[in-house]
Amino acid sequence: MKDDILAMRQTTDGADQSQDASADAASGHSLGQPLSLYDQLSKDYDCTRLLRIDEANDGDPITCTMSEIPFGDKPKFDALSYIVRQNLWDALHYLRKHCPDTSYWIDAICINQNDIDERNRQVRIMHHIYFRAQTVVVWLGKTYSQYKALVPQLRRLCHMNARIEETTPESTPEPTQTGSSVRDLAVEPCNDAYWKRLWIIQEIGLAREIKVCFGNCAIEWRQFRQFLVTNGLGSEGPMKL
């Protein structure tokens, strides 16, 4: 199958669409994808489409190269887990800037949403796709960019708490004065609407690796959970998974 170049444009008049069992995971705004961009996926073997985001300057339009990949080829890729609409557009900009040279599986783009048969077939193997991904990228949104200055402090706290956990696994470290200054950074992502989605069970429940991205921050799942525990949020949102 020849590679297809996807030129995406942001609009604001999209109808609300939800990530339900029929894989209606479109982003809520047109991505400018005419049907001719999609060749039919093979029905002879399990496969999907992967995309690579083309490098460009921050203000340039988002363009991607997309191709069919058989699972038998054991492709290396990351999968995106997110909330639909504007959030997807922001995620594409983030990934282009911070995670270049990576292949991605993103349901709203990699599935031809206008092909009902394909959508149903891809939904049936969706849990396998997330399981096969090297990393599942949890994208909470750019709304947390206000905390950018606290990210180095957050990472130091995560490493410090990991060392404490290794030496005294039966105890949970109390929040310190330094830790309390970044508690807002823990509370808001913890209460994000993302954690209320039923689909995250299959998206991150069996993931090999998970990276949580919010604002300009990206931390590993284990560090994120420890950060929440340290700030007294051990029974909230993500900790219930």
Percentage of the chain beyond pLDDT 70 is 67
Q: pLDDT class for 219, splitting at 50, 70, 90? A: confident
User: Is the residue at 138 inside a domain?
Assistant: no
Q: Which tens digit of pLDDT belongs to each residue from 147-173?
A: 666 667 666 766 655 444 444 444 444
- pLDDT in the model for residue 226: 82
Residues 70 and 44 in one domain: yes
pLDDT the model gives residue 36: 55
Q: What mean pLDDT is predicted for residues 90-98?
A: 93
Residues 105, 194 within the same domain: no
Q: For the chain, how many structural domains are there in total?
A: 2
- In 142-241, the DSSP E strands lie at 210-214, 217-220
Chosen domain end from 133, 155, 181? 133
Q: 123 near 196, Cβ under 8 Å?
A: no
Candidate from 52-56, 176-180, 182-186, 228-232 with smallest mean pLDDT: 176-180
* Residue after which a domain boundary falls, among 98, 133, 168: 133
> Structure pTM?
0.76
Residue ranges in 16-106 assigned as alpha helix (H): 86-98
Bridge partners, residue 210, by sequence: 136
**In this structure, are 149 and 65 located in the same domain?**
no
Q: Are 26 and 115 in contact (CB under 8 A)?
A: no
Q: Are 123 and 11 in the same domain?
A: yes
Query: What is the maximum alpha-carbon separation in the chain?
Result: 60
Are 92 and 199 in a shared domain? no
